[in-house]
Amino acid sequence: MQITIFGTGYVGLVTGACLADVGHEVLCMDVDADKIARLEAGEIPIYEPGLEALVSHNVAEERLRFTTDPAAAVAFGTLQFIAVGTPPDEDGSADLQYVLAVARTIGEHMDGYRVIVDKSTVPVGTAGRVREAVRGALATRGSELDFDVCSNPEFLKEGAAIEDFTHGARIIVGTDSPRVEALMRECYAPYNRHHEKLMFMDVKSAELTKYAANAMLATKISFMNEIANLAERLGADVEEVRRGIGSDPRIGYHFIYPGCGYGGSCFPKDVQALARTAGEVAYRAELLEAVESVNHRQKATLFAKLSQAFDGDLSGKTVALWGLAFKPNTDDMREAPSRVLMEALWAAGARVQAYDPEAMAECRRLYGERDDLALVEGREAAVTGADALVICTEWKAFRSVDFAWLRRTLTTPVVVDGRNLYDPQAARQAGLLYYAVGRGASLVD
């Protein structure tokens, strides 16, 4: 098939590369000429394991191409995927300006039947707004060309996006059109061979499914953080509790790891947007509000533990950070707990010495050069001369450490483990003042 994808961000680039890899011809369109030039030169603007090789291979095979020409993009594919950003607006709702701009562009240039596929995460009812935008553009031209709009939400985890696309549990399509169903079956046939993954439903249900999935996962995380905070005050170990409840197949082990809060491009904005959508239909989503509230509070726990360890005075202290990205295997720092911690430390007069395997450039982009931030090459350099260590991201490189070396290297042996990577007893026996999340003897508010 010939397929057009609008947007070369995280979702658009992964989708385009994966569809091209199974033999489709894919044209990715973006208004950012610099980004397109970089892609054509083989430079990938985001970090995602395996993506650079996948893009390079399919560009070399001439199945994946890039353009800034909207007319060429609309002319290319019968399927027109919209995979542009939907950032949170000031009121928490999803900002659809980019989605609707693409819809109008398609209406302005289409010369025959098109299927417009909403791949971006969008609120319930967006397909109808896209349809009206296309119709409006066609009306301006005095044209009545046939088209359809369907929903095809993405379910990609950063750090495992290619695996999720190629071996995902389900492929959801919202449509009531047999013609669209046939085309989408053809599109995804290479990924639907071993068992039936395609699930067809009405458009609004498909749109809601995406938000419901992310909200459910965010709820599990906030629930475990709530239990961790309770365990801390009761003298229990939340890691034992996690193993105990995870063994129940009705609960399972996924997304029940306590820590310093969730971040990224999806969970924070999607929980907020779904709560906003509920308000628009006169329903207060109290559980979603609580999920968001717990997460905001949890991101402040790292600073609170550090502050208590130093009797409330962090001025002049140097704090080492292991991890800046919101999760491993990505360079994404959107809504990352590290950002909340760093900004609080700076406000308290402390200095940050940080290392992350992939997010250093992103941190420089966000904060620039400043006297109270040193981005260093390696975890050893980060702790050298530091008064305390905080672990913000559970990269594999941080999972094992020589406690005796850490005790010798830190000026003050304070370790705040925001991801519960280590055995508290072993760390404390080595002479570390070790504080984790929900592990009994940790400092509490």
User: Rounded CA gap, 256 and 225, in Å?
Assistant: 9
Q: Residue 64 burial by CB count (10 A; 0-12/13-18/19+): exposed, middle or buried?
A: buried
CA dihedral 62, 68, 74, 78 (to 10 degrees): 30
> Tokens 């080492």 appear where?
320
The whole-angstrom distance between residue 378's C-alpha and the CA centroid of its chain comes to 25
Please give the angle made by the CA atoms of 249, 257 and 328, to the nearest 5 degrees: 120
Catalytic residue (one of 150, 266, 363, 392): 266
User: Rounded CA gap, 276 and 14, in Å?
Assistant: 29
Structure tokens, 223: 């629930």
Write down the H helix ranges in 358-419. 360-367, 379-383, 403-409
User: Residue 104 to residues 2, 131, 236, 393, 426: CA-CA distances in angstroms?
Assistant: 21, 9, 57, 41, 61
Instruction: Determine whether 266 is an active site residue.
Output: yes
For residue 363, what are the β-bridge partners?
none
> 196-220 as b/e, with b when 16 or more CB fall inside 10 Å?
eebebbebbebbbbbbebbbebbbb
Helix (H) or strand (E) holding 355: strand 351-355
Three-state SS for 21? helix
Q: Residue 331 burial by CB count (10 A; 0-12/13-18/19+): exposed, middle or buried?
A: buried
Instruction: Tell which residue, 26, 36, 29, 32, has the closest CA to residue 58.
Output: 26
> Tokens 């095979």 appear where?
61
Q: Which residues are catalytic?
A: 266
